Amino acid sequence: DADVTQTPRNRITKTGKRIMLECSQTKGHDRMYWYRQDPGLGLRLIYYSFDVKDINKGEISDGYSVSRQAQAKFSLSLESAIPNQTALYFCATSDPGTEITDTQYFGPGTRLTVL
Amino acid sequence: AQSVTQLGSHVSVSEGALVLLRCNYSSSVPPYLFWYVQYPNQGLQLLLKYTSAATLVKGINGFEAEFKKSETSFHLTKPSAHMSDAAEYFCAVSGYNNNDMRFGAGTRLTVKP
């Protein structure tokens, strides 16, 4: 079974609709992240959470919100979807442990299309 | 803020040839540097990372990268390409706390038989 799962894997929606993307992990990591991937732009950080009570904005948080329901769950919401939010969305987790900088483990992605 | 630039959005090599994917970074603090690989319809997978312990970093699948501070580079190499190496490769940089990881635009590697 995958350590980081994302649901749905694909979603088509219309402009103005509210959308929630969900991420679950079984790795026991405290840190979770949401990224979006656009062709030619790589991945950009939307939000990150270093524990259940810690939520921080990333590089491109406008138009998005998140909820950390538990250590294992981190949801991304688009309150009113717009076409330029069409992208591939990735969830990631990490745990610094004893490393200087922690490795991020990525889910399989959610492809979102906003018409 | 940190950033990385990947030179070449597409690289094509023949099977058995040297793979060289270029990455240059910009950082005001000692950087931590990463190479990730993305196979079709999958998430990103860590190939290797530099955390200042050694300038030559060996990763999975025969890949390695060398940190060169004087050139602000962290190029990824593999001596002999395999068909299974065809994928998109991302270079990334972060500071100490991993809360501001910046990715490059990616380089798509094609391996010809």
Q: How many residues does chain A have?
A: 115
User: Which residue does chain A place closest to B53, by CA atoms?
Assistant: A100
Q: CA–CA separation, A27 vs A10, rounded Å?
A: 23
For A32, the closest chain B residue by CA position comes to B99
DSSP state of A103: P
Residue A11 pLDDT greater than 60, yes or no: yes
Instruction: Report the amino acid identity of residue A5.
Output: T
Average pLDDT of span B6-35: 93
The per-residue pLDDT for range A39-67, each reduced to its tens digit, is: 888 899 999 999 999 999 998 999 999 99
Confidence class of residue B1 from pLDDT cuts 50, 70 and 90? confident
Of B60, B84, B73, B34, nearest to A42 by C-alpha is B34
Range 56-95 of B in CB contact (< 8 A) with A: 90, 92, 94
Residue in A33, A48, A101 to test binding to B, most B beta-carbons within 10 Å = A101
Contact A101 B41 (CB under 8 A): no
Average pLDDT, chain B: 91
Tell which residue, A23, A58, A63, has the closest CA to residue A43: A58
Q: Give the residue carrying structure tokens 């005001």.
A: B28
Q: Between A and B, how many residue pairs show a Cβ–Cβ distance under 8 A?
A: 62
pLDDT for B31: 84
Task: Quote the pLDDT of residue A83.
Answer: 96
Query: Which pLDDT band holds residue B94 (cuts at 50, 70, 90)?
Result: confident
Tell me how crowded residue B82 is: count the other CB atoms within 10 A of its CB.
13
A97 contacts A110 by C-beta, under 8 angstroms = no
At residue A1, the pLDDT reads: 55
User: SS3 of B70, please?
Assistant: coil
Residue B91 region by backbone torsions, left for phi larger than 0, else alpha for psi between -120 and 50, else beta? beta
The gap from C-alpha B42 to its chain's centroid, in whole angstroms, comes to: 17
Average pLDDT over residues B69-88: 95
Tell me if A25 sits within 8 A of A93, measured CB to CB. Answer: yes
What pLDDT score was predicted for residue B51? 84
What pLDDT score was predicted for residue B54? Answer: 84
